Amino acid sequence: MRRKLAAGNWKMNGLAANLTELDAMKAAAAADKVDVLICPPATLISRAADAAAGSSIAIGAQDCHANASGAHTGDLSAAMLADAGASHVITGHSERRVDHSDSDADVAAKSQAAFDAGLIAVICLGESLAQREAGDTLDVIGTQLAGSTPDSATAANTVIAYEPVWAIGTGKVPTLEQIAEVHDFIRAKLVARFGAEGDGMRILYGGSVKPGNADEIFAVSNVDGALVGGASLKASDFNAIITALGNA
Ligand code: PGA
């Protein structure tokens, strides 16, 4: 049985004052039916880890460098993020792939760096609207999955997130059939490559998940949770998503 995961990605949002939201998520997380992860901006990781101490909320980062240390001004290594209190790191988010030209090989290297530092990588995949309209979705996802996931990935160190680029922050959500098609495809590829470990990896859906659509998305086959952007900023929204996942 795969334990469900409700993950929040705060992106470039959040100052110290917003940690009160994290505090207000503790009660929902305490139901202990699902794993809960919040990925604040790197500036808040240490304070978020302190704020979450004693609760079941895990803290993650949104990106890491592929190298362990060195002359990379402005970058952060996976070991630094772990040292600050992170247990997870998102790799290959489409905003990194677009804004910072992260390739599949970059994402694999960052994910390997995460494993080496003892972090769990949340590896993101997703097609653009043009790719979906051209009928290329499964080809794109298959290529990204193969190229972005290190050979050393296991059920314990890897979470996959399927996030159609056109559904992120837009309020547009794929049909449940479209979500099922991609999640089932990812599961088959993971099992073919990693066997039982691939069967144990969580596959999250991301892209405009809200309290109002969480129930139906969580009922879809091979959806083991969500990676949530906008609706993870406020405890009132994210708690409802945590509860929906716990009831799924
Ligand atoms: P959204 O973002 O929930 O705001 O659409 C999802 C994500 O990018 O992880």
Q: Which of 93, 95, 127, 183 is catalytic?
A: 93
The angle subtended at Cα 183 by Cα 138 and Cα 95, nearest 5°, is: 70
To the query of whether residue 93 is one of the catalytic residues in this protein, the response is: yes
The angle subtended at Cα 202 by Cα 200 and Cα 206, nearest 5°, is: 165
Are the beta carbons of 52 and 58 closer than 8 angstroms?
yes
Q: What is the mean pLDDT of residues 159-178?
A: 95
Range of the domain at 148: 5-247
Pocket test of ligand 1: the residue of 88, 93, 228 to mutate, having most ligand atoms within 8 Å of its CB, is: 228
Backbone angles phi, psi at 118, to 5 degrees: 80, 15
Higher-pLDDT residue of 59 and 30 is 59
Backbone angles phi, psi at 61, to 5 degrees: -105, 170
- Per-residue pLDDT tens for 68-112? 999 999 999 999 999 999 999 999 999 999 999 999 999 999 999
93 CA closest ligand 1 atom index: 8
Confidence of residue 160 (pLDDT cuts 50, 70, 90): very high
Q: What is the dihedral of CA 225, 10, 231, 104, to 10 degrees?
A: -50
To the query of whether residue 216 is one of the catalytic residues in this protein, the response is: no
Q: Above pLDDT 90, what percent of the chain?
A: 97
What local confidence, expressed as pLDDT, does residue 1 receive?
82
User: H/E/C letters for each residue in 4-59?
Assistant: CEEEEECCCCCCHHHHHHHHHHHHHHHCCCCEEEEECCHHHHHHHHHHHCCCCEEE
Q: Above pLDDT 70, what percent of the chain?
A: 100
pTM over 0.85: yes
206 CA closest ligand 1 atom index: 6
Helix or strand (DSSP H, E) at 212: helix 211-218
Cα 120 from Cα 201, distance rounded (Å): 11
Task: Determine the distance separating the centroid of ligand 1 and the alpha carbon of 93, expressed in angstroms.
Answer: 10
9: Cβ below 6 Å to ligand 1? yes
pLDDT at 151 over 90: yes
What local confidence, expressed as pLDDT, does residue 120 receive?
98
What local confidence, expressed as pLDDT, does residue 31 receive?
87
Domain count, the chain: 1
Beta bridge partners of 122: 90, 159
Nearest-CA residue for atom 1 of ligand 1: 229
Q: What is the mean pLDDT of residues 114-137?
A: 97
What local confidence, expressed as pLDDT, does residue 188 receive?
98
Q: What is the mean pLDDT of residues 15-22?
A: 97
Task: Determine the distance separating the centroid of ligand 1 and the alpha carbon of 234, expressed in angstroms.
Answer: 13
Confidence of residue 13 (pLDDT cuts 50, 70, 90): very high
Confidence of residue 220 (pLDDT cuts 50, 70, 90): very high
| CA dihedral (10, 69, 91, 25) positive or negative | negative
CATH code where residue 180 lies: 3.20.20.70
Nearest-CA residue for atom 3 of ligand 1: 229
Cα 142 from Cα 207, distance rounded (Å): 19
Task: Determine the distance separating the centroid of ligand 1 and the alpha carbon of 161, expressed in angstroms.
Answer: 11
Task: Determine the distance separating the centroid of ligand 1 and the alpha carbon of 12, expressed in angstroms.
Answer: 12
Confidence of residue 32 (pLDDT cuts 50, 70, 90): confident
Helix or strand (DSSP H, E) at 162: strand 158-162
Q: Which residues, other chains included, contact 78 with Cβ-Cβ below 8 Å and sequence gap of 6+? A: 64, 65, 68, 89, 110, 113, 114, 116, 117, 119
Average pLDDT, the chain: 97
Are the beta carbons of 122 and 60 closer than 8 angstroms?
yes
- Region class of 102: left (phi > 0), else alpha (psi between -120 and 50), else beta: beta
